[in-house]
Amino acid sequence: MKSRAFAILGLVAVALVAGWIWVQSTSGRLPPGFAQSNGRIEAERIDISTRFGGRLAEITVAEGDRVAAGQVVARLDSTQLQAQLREAGAGVRAAEQGLAEARAVLAERESGLTFARQELFRAESLQKRGHTPAETVDLRRTQLTAAEAAVASAKAGVATARARIEAAQATVDRLDADLDEYALTAPRAGRVQYRLAEPGEVLSPGARVVTLLDLTDVSMTIYLPTAAAGRLAYGAQARIVFDAAPHFVVPATVSFVAGEAQFTPKYVETAEERENLMFRVKLTLPPEVLRAHQDIVKTGVPGVATVQVDPAAQWPGDLAVRLPDAR
């Protein structure tokens, strides 16, 4: 009897151990309708570069600083450009003076034209009464034609003076725009990742000075096999668990699925081999979540992403969204 009891207890113990092993082996498995892969967090990188060459006068930010859109992050030495701008401004004033002189000439020529018309009128009136010879009338007509030509020339002079003003002002506007380019500004808000130059360096056009990370445009790239990528829809839901913070679950959405496989075996003649093809998938984190946690968002952090391949599949409880407290 005792041996039989021990045998029964042994069978029960074996069953319990086997059940525990099965539970442990299946507890980490994903339910149907989901796919999983790992990746690293990436943020949109913005390189702030020079449009013109010159000496770097100052950099107003340090690595790790947060900057606002439009904030000045560096300046080029603009001494020479400012001198050119003053010279161009003097050119505008000279052109304006030229216009004043041209208008004065035009007024003088118009006065002469009026006088010539009056002289011709008097000469014609006297000729009708027989007091003025025909030669005098012809002379007055010639003088009138000359006065009309002088007025036309003066009007052309006024137009030329105005064109000179416009050209000089365009030079001022161009130099003003160039001067604005000497102040390097952040095109959008972000965090300084690198300072790539230091004050005093002479930079060529297009040289990178500061690199920013846009902390509201963050994503993770993962790779999924054909079976999962083929069923994946744009906008599908995803969850990310970071290695550094496994107690948080961050939401994301599918924003890109590659049209071609990234890893292709040598031969893909069979269905089994085609299943080995891997497609690049981009998961984008919600901007509102990123804005609320900008102080802790970092790039390069690895994690595991779970993607909802089947929209009808229910998320398991351990992948419910859990975010840190907003700061």
The domain locations on the chain are 31-44+214-319, 47-76+183-209, 79-181
CATH of domain 31-44+214-319: 2.40.30.170
* pLDDT surpasses 60 at 300: yes
Query: Is 66's pLDDT higher than 70?
Result: yes
Lowest mean pLDDT among 3-7, 44-48, 200-204: 3-7
pLDDT band at 326 (very low <50, low <70, confident <90, very high): low
pLDDT at 5: 46
Written as one letter, the residue type at 321 is V
Mean pLDDT of 250-269: 75
Instruction: Say if residue 218's pLDDT is above 90.
Output: yes
> Which of 11-20, 109-118, 139-148 bottoms out in mean pLDDT, i.e. has the lowest?
11-20
Check residue 276 and give its pLDDT: 66
pLDDT at position 263: 63
Tell me the β-bridge partners of 60. Answer: none
Q: What pLDDT does 129 receive?
A: 83
Taking the C-alpha atoms of 196, 202, 205 and 210 in order, what is their torsion angle to the nearest 10 degrees?
20
pLDDT of residue 269: 44
pLDDT for residue 20 is more than 70: no
Whether pLDDT at 14 is above 60: no
Q: Which CATH code for domain 47-76+183-209?
A: 2.40.50.100
- Please name the residues in contact with 284: beta carbons below 8 A apart, sequence gap of 6 or more: 217, 218, 219, 252, 253, 254, 255
- The single-letter code of the amino acid at 261 is A
The residues with which 241 forms a beta bridge, in sequence order, are 304
Instruction: Of 209, 202, 208, give the one whose Cα is nearest residue 54.
Output: 202
Contact 324, 49 (CB under 8 A): no
pLDDT of 1 reads 45
Which residue, among 173, 281, 298, 187, has the nearest Cα to 234 in the 3D structure? 281
Confidence at residue 293, expressed as pLDDT on a 0 to 100 scale: 82
Which residue type sits at 197? A
Is the model more confident about 131 or about 190?
190
**Which pLDDT does position 327 carry in this prediction?**
58
Task: Say if pTM beats, i.e. exceeds, 0.75.
Answer: no
Quick check: 241 pLDDT over 60?
yes
pLDDT of 64 higher than 50: yes
- Which residue blocks in the chain are alpha helix, DSSP H? 2-27, 79-128, 134-181, 226-229, 271-274, 287-292
Higher-pLDDT residue of 265 and 110 is 110
pLDDT score of 250 more than 90: yes
